[in-house]
């Protein structure tokens, strides 16, 4: 059976997937957005669907922290921002009646803090910051650097790079073998310029630029989902991202079974079988098809020895890398820093600091510190108290008064979260070749989730939902055996 292309999935989804003949029974592993959407579509088509979720809540990496904050403040531990191009996310938000509002990221004023000084991304401020830029970079400012080092490269790879049914053509393939760092330095970027550009596109991905696939990065940077292409229509879920998965869960009701971590998947000619933990005992359930939505970072908890998977699939499960992300949230008594809606990239270990509550009137505020890569891994091994203390000490060097205004805090270390064990896919060199292998169904076992999408830089709610649509289509085409 030929796999549907990205365009075909979109067309089928937009027309309501008519004529679909889903199997009679399906087990979905994981109640993240991908699993919820698959279950929602199947349930609407009279399929007997059961979702087995290891956690006590739906949503996976769509996760809002509400405790221990006062005054109804909340912060996003995972997914936060939506663009108007998040087609699948916008579709379901509308359908489920979940409201959106302007994205926080657009409400912040971005600047840098390096060598003990604040400066903005404009050409004069950057030139005066005393950084080790190449002479020709002094007049560019950060936007000019992105134009010269990123946009010019992606423009030279069009139309292949942004083609809807993307593949690594002859023009693109060499960029999947090259690293982001190589492409930037080949274009003449100094390390200081790379450090300035990084927060715009990569810092949040937690990548090592020397191993990250240039192709995956350029495809993302050329897309409307890139931070450097932000527009005023960027949005977030009103009241917290968790309202989105909760809305799915309310529709699915008892079809979702929480605290049921799956430990084994098997299949034969007739059936697929799933073994899971149920309050300290092992239970087995059978269905015609099984959908695995578990991120590959956490897939090692499931035994697939008798699932008849190909060697290529086992290899892909081991090879896919995830980024390390830690987010620390500090509730402050009031805004003690002068900048309105502050957002800073710093040369301190805490890296990125922002007002996580720019749209709330206060007086209380939550300051967020987001660390990725080795810094995230370093603070992950600290205790909660040590971690908050570490961030406060660093923050105080930059914004004196932080410690005096601190009231309470919380943090999320994605590497340490059971059943996630990583934040989002980190496409390494060669990642584009893995994508079709990750997506491919193997007998009665199908794969959805943001890692099993069409986009190499797929860590986003809408790509998780797109993978769900692709899987539902795949199931419907398979039909009842």
Ligand X SMILES: Cc1cc2nc3c(=O)[nH]c(=O)nc-3n(C[C@H](O)[C@H](O)[C@H](O)COP(=O)(O)OP(=O)(O)OC[C@H]3O[C@@H](n4cnc5c(N)ncnc54)[C@H](O)[C@@H]3O)c2cc1C
Site residues (vs ligand X, CB under 6 A): 29-35, 52-55, 60-62, 78-81, 261-262, 293-295, 298, 301-302, 325, 414, 419-420, 423-424, 449-450, 459-462, 464
Q: In angstroms, rounded to a whole number, what is the distance separating the alpha carbons of residues 200 and 142?
A: 9
Q: In angstroms, rounded to a whole number, what is the distance separating the alpha carbons of residues 146 and 175?
A: 18
Q: Is 178 left (phi over 0), alpha (psi -120 to 50) or beta?
A: beta
CB 276 within 8 A of CB 262: yes
What are the residue ranges of helices labelled H in 253-320? 311-319
425: β partners: 322
Q: In angstroms, rounded to a whole number, what is the distance separating the alpha carbons of residues 167 and 392?
A: 45
Quote the least distance from Cβ 279 to ligand X, whole Å: 14
- Report the candidate in 454, 444, 436 with the shortest Cα–Cα distance to residue 475: 444
Quote the least distance from Cβ 83 to ligand X, whole Å: 8
Quote the least distance from Cβ 465 to ligand X, whole Å: 8
- Report the candidate in 427, 454, 455 with the shortest Cα–Cα distance to residue 212: 427
Token pair of 393 as six digits: 């000490």
Nearer to ligand X, 29 or 140 (CB): 29
Nearer to ligand X, 130 or 436 (CB): 436
Nearer to ligand X, 34 or 366 (CB): 34
Quote the least distance from Cβ 269 to ligand X, whole Å: 25
Nearer to ligand X, 294 or 332 (CB): 294
Quote the least distance from Cβ 260 to ligand X, whole Å: 6
Token pair of 93 as six digits: 């938000």
Quote the least distance from Cβ 116 to ligand X, whole Å: 29
Quote the least distance from Cβ 49 to ligand X, whole Å: 15
Nearer to ligand X, 146 or 299 (CB): 299
Quote the least distance from Cβ 244 to ligand X, whole Å: 9
Nearer to ligand X, 114 or 298 (CB): 298
CB 288 within 8 A of CB 86: no
Nearer to ligand X, 141 or 459 (CB): 459
Strand order in the sheet with 406-413: 117-119, 109-114, 342-346, 352-355, 365-372, 325-332, 406-413
CB 4 within 8 A of CB 12: yes
The number of beta carbons lying within 10 Å of the beta carbon of residue 340 is 11
Quote the least distance from Cβ 37 to ligand X, whole Å: 8
Nearer to ligand X, 32 or 121 (CB): 32
Nearer to ligand X, 53 or 221 (CB): 53
Q: In angstroms, rounded to a whole number, what is the distance separating the alpha carbons of residues 299 and 321?
A: 12
Return the H-helix or E-strand segment holding 327: strand 325-332
C-beta nearest to ligand X: residue: 32
Token pair of 383 as six digits: 């205790």
Nearer to ligand X, 32 or 441 (CB): 32
Computed on alpha carbons and rounded to an integer, the radius of gyration of the chain in Å comes to 23
Quote the least distance from Cβ 220 to ligand X, whole Å: 12
Nearer to ligand X, 71 or 278 (CB): 278
Strands (E), 59-181: 64-65, 75-76, 100-102, 109-114, 117-119
Q: In angstroms, rounded to a whole number, what is the distance separating the alpha carbons of residues 129 and 120?
A: 9
- Report the candidate in 394, 347, 349 with the shortest Cα–Cα distance to residue 130: 347
| Alpha-carbon torsion angle 230, 356, 372, 451, nearest 10 | -60
Quote the least distance from Cβ 410 to ligand X, whole Å: 14
């Amino acid at each position: 059976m030929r796999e549907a292309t990205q365009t075909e999935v979109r067309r089928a989804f937009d027309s309501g997937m008519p004529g679909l003949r889903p199997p009679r029974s399906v087990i979905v592993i994981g109640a993240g957005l991908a699993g919820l959407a698959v279950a929602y579509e199947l349930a609407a088509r009279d399929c007997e669907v059961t979702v087995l979720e290891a956690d006590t809540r739906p949503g996976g990496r769509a996760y809002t922290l509400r405790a221990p904050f006062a005054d109804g403040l909340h912060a996003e531990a995972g997914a936060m921002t939506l663009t108007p191009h998040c087609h699948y996310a916008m579709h379901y938000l509308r359908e489920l009646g979940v409201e959106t509002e302007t994205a926080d990221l657009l409400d912040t004023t971005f600047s840098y803090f390096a060598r003990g000084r604040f400066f903005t991304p404009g050409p004069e401020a950057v030139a005066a910051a005393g950084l080790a830029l190449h002479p020709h970079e002094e007049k560019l400012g950060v936007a000019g650097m992105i134009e010269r080092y990123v946009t010019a490269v992606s423009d030279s790879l069009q139309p292949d790079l942004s083609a809807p049914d993307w593949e690594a053509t002859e023009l693109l393939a060499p960029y999947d073998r090259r690293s982001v760092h190589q492409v930037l330095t080949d274009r003449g970027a100094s390390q200081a310029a790379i450090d300035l550009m990084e927060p715009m596109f990569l810092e949040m991905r937690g990548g090592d630029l020397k191993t990250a696939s240039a192709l995956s990065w350029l495809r993302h940077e050329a897309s409307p989902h890139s931070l450097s292409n932000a527009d005023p229509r960027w949005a977030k879920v009103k009241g917290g991202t968790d309202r989105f998965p909760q809305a799915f869960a309310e529709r699915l009701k008892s079809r979702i079974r929480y605290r049921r971590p799956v430990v084994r998947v098997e299949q034969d000619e007739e059936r697929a079988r799933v073994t899971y933990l149920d309050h300290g005992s092992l239970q087995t359930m059978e269905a015609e098809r099984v959908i695995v939505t578990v991120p590959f970072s956490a897939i090692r908890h499931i035994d697939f020895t008798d699932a008849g998977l190909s060697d290529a699939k086992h290899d892909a499960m081991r090879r896919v890398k995830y980024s390390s992300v830690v987010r620390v949230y500090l509730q402050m008594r009031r805004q003690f820093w002068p900048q309105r809606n502050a957002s800073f990239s710093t040369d301190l270990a805490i890296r990125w600091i922002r007002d996580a509550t720019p749209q709330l009137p206060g007086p209380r505020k939550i300051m967020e510190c987001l660390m990725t890569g080795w810094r995230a891994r370093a603070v992950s091994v600290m205790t909660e108290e040590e971690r908050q203390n570490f961030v406060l000490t660093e923050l105080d060097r930059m914004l004196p008064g932080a410690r005096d205004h601190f009231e309470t805090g919380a943090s999320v270390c994605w590497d340490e979260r059971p059943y996630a064990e990583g934040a989002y896919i980190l496409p390494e060199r060669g990642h584009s070749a893995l994508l079709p292998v990750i997506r491919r169904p193997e007998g009665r076992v199908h794969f959805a989730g943001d890692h099993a999408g069409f986009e190499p830089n797929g860590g986003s709610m809408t790509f998780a939902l797109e993978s769900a649509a692709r899987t539902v289509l795949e199931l419907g085409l398979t039909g009842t055996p």
